[in-house]
Amino acid sequence: MEASTALSRIGLAGLAVMGQNLALNIADKGFPISVYNRTTSKVDETVDRAHQEGNLPLFGQYNPRDFVLSIQRPRSVIILVKAGAPVDQTIAALSDHLEPGDAIIDGGNEWYENTERRIQQVSDKGILYLGMGVSGGEEGARHGPSLMPGGSYQAYSNVQDILHKVAAQVEDGPCVTYIGEGGSGNFVKMVHNGIEYGDMQLISEAYDVLKNIGGLSNSELSEIFAEWNRGELESFLIEITADIFKVKDEHGDGELVDKILDKTGMKGTGKWTVQQAAELSVAAPTIAASLDCRYLSGLKEERESAANALKEAGLKEEVGSVKVGVDKKRLIDDVRQALYASKICSYAQGMNLLRAKSIEKGWNLNFGELARIWKGGCIIRAVFLDRIKKAYQRNPDLASLVVDPEFAKEMVQRQAAWRRVVGLAISAGISTPGMCASLSYFDTYRRSRLPANLVQAQRDLFGAHTYERVDRPGAFHTEWTKLARKSDAGVGAFN
């Protein structure tokens, strides 16, 4: 049989940047792959790249039928198109030609319930389905992403050898594992993105404090982040931050970072994470604060007029007066510790959300394994994920990372520095919502008694919602207003 008529091992439909790069990665690992896109120029472009990047075994197909028939059975087809309706359209176009036992793998950032609906939908035709989170951006897709496949275990088994080779490799294996049933792969990727929002916000706050209170230049900031990347904060986001500060502006003086408009974009996975946390009654304040900051950053014109209005009302900038007495070296070290402690809280919130969903859906997620597959390829890859993996290996039922003996020790050691940074930022009028949210989360979670007793009393007074007592079982209701008036009358009698 000639090479041209040999069947491909796998197919990929949807050739935007992520799709092209993942297809080339698969071909690069020695697996013949068929590719298809509705816009034929994208197919040609991918075939050209495969040729240029080492005559890789990648074959372009120009209609859904030829594409499907060019793949060996049981067929596995990855689709990488925009989430929502385009996925349904692609499934409809392909499933006309797929047979029972074939599998569709959606590699997009899809809402997990859409995946669960599609699993049901295609199962009527005997087709298997996987929703697979892919993290690492275009670089990761080409050279080794973190993969989070959930859904049909059979569909996963059929391509396990490919996924293991294509994923990023770390010392304890490839950054891929079977996540669980249903939409678990998409859900895990969504929470990964929520943690990513928190991480990026915390890093931007560290930058803000160092720049505006410490008075550090971009070249100093670059050195500091590079140094942090050699220690406990070693991670992809810290590494790229060090690089960002180095880049000069080609259209003028100074560094490019200072010329970028302070409005943050978003695709929606952060919002979904916060909505899910609310639905499941899981506190995720650091992730929520980072989402709120993106919303506020979008109000650029409003913020500019607010700055002017408040200046006219007599608001003075505190930053200058704080700067004078600042010990730079100590500030840098304090910010490093505050960033680390805040990050632990952010990851703890993400893991607790995953646990709540896993219990609700019976997914039986393995948190140590999730931390392991995030150690390479993905955007939140970081050295301390190994510590998270070990924490869950020590105790798979860990209530929160904050109470793991190792992490608890680290939080306690860092809390003084953490409080100094947040206090300094507040007195200088610099907002650190992520760090404040993490610290409040820590302070609320570690207290055995909260002022929630007063909230319960209020709820019982105006809505007869009842309350429990600390000293006897049962639900109680009190006629608060009547008793309060009575005691007023009693006080009057004594005067």
Q: Which residues are catalytic?
A: 189, 196
What count of Cα atoms within 13 Å lies in the side-chain half-sphere of residue 449?
4
309 annotated as ligand-binding: no
37 assigned binding-site residue: yes
Residue 29 annotated as part of some ligand binding site: no
136 is in an annotated binding site: yes
User: Binding site annotation covers 1?
Assistant: no
H/E run at residue 104: strand 103-106
Question: Is 18 known to sit in a ligand binding site?
Answer: yes
- The span from the CA of 351 to the CA of 147, in Å, is 17
Any binding-site annotation on 83? yes
233 marked ligand binding residue: no
Distances (CA, A) of 160 to 163, 174, 204, 274: 5, 11, 38, 32
Can you read off the two tokens belonging to residue 137?
Answer: 């951006």
Cα 87 to Cα 12, 202, 269, 301, 313: the distances in Å are 13, 34, 17, 37, 53
Whether 300 has a binding-site annotation, put simply, is no
Is residue 36 marked as binding? no
Is 267 marked within a binding site? yes
Greatest C-alpha distance within the chain:
108
The CA distance from 237 to 227, in Å, is: 13
Query: Which helix (DSSP H) or strand (DSSP E) does residue 210 occupy?
Result: helix 184-212
Q: Strands, DSSP E only, in 141-294?
A: 146-151, 169-170, 173-174
Tell whether 197 is in a known binding site. Answer: yes
Whether 60 contacts 39, CB under 8 Å: no
19 is in an annotated binding site: yes
Q: How far apart are CA 131 and CA 106, in angstroms?
A: 5
Residue with tokens 């900031």: 221
- Residue 322 in marked binding region: no
Q: By three-state DSSP, how is residue 99 classified?
A: coil
Indicate the angle between helix axes 405-428 and 184-212, nearest 10 degrees. 50
Residue 465 is labelled as binding a ligand: yes
294 is in an annotated binding site: yes
Q: Is 444 annotated as a binding residue?
A: no
* Residue 276 half-sphere exposure toward CB, CA atoms < 13 A: 28
Question: Residue written as tokens 């931007």?
Answer: 204
| 459 annotated among ligand-binding-site residues | yes
Any binding-site annotation on 241? no
Query: 14 among the known binding-site residues?
Result: yes
| H-assigned helices in 53-152 | 64-69, 85-95, 112-123, 137-143
Amino acid present at 404: D
Q: Which residues are annotated binding-site positions for NADP(+)? A: 14-19, 37-39, 81-83, 109
Q: Which residues are annotated binding-site positions for substrate? A: 109, 135-137, 192-193, 197, 267, 294, 459, 465
Q: Which residues are annotated binding-site positions? A: 14-19, 37-39, 81-83, 109, 135-137, 192-193, 197, 267, 294, 459, 465
